[in-house]
Structure 1
């Protein structure tokens, strides 16, 4: 089970984040506490 702050302090680079799976991944990573960089 993934806790809501499991990615706290981590940075995720998400490419193709304007739609589809990239957008969904970015939203989920942010919800898990990561700093998200979008391209």
Structure 2
């Protein structure tokens, strides 16, 4: 069984969603993010 953890954050190109994605990544989780603006969602 794998112990890898992944989070999906929608609206992660700015504001609260961005900060949530950033902090989850800092804890070592793999983070997938959703963004309406592809260029800003990196």
TM-score under structure 2 length normalisation:
0.71
Q: Which runs of 4+ in 1 moved over 6 A?
A: none
Count of equivalent residues = 32
Whichever structure has more helix as a proportion of its residues is 2
| Structure 1 gaps, min length 5 | 1-7
TM-score under structure 1 length normalisation:
0.76
More contact order relative to length (CA 8 Å, sep ≥ 6) = 1
Give me the CA root mean square deviation: 1.3
| Structure 2 gaps, min length 5 | 35-42
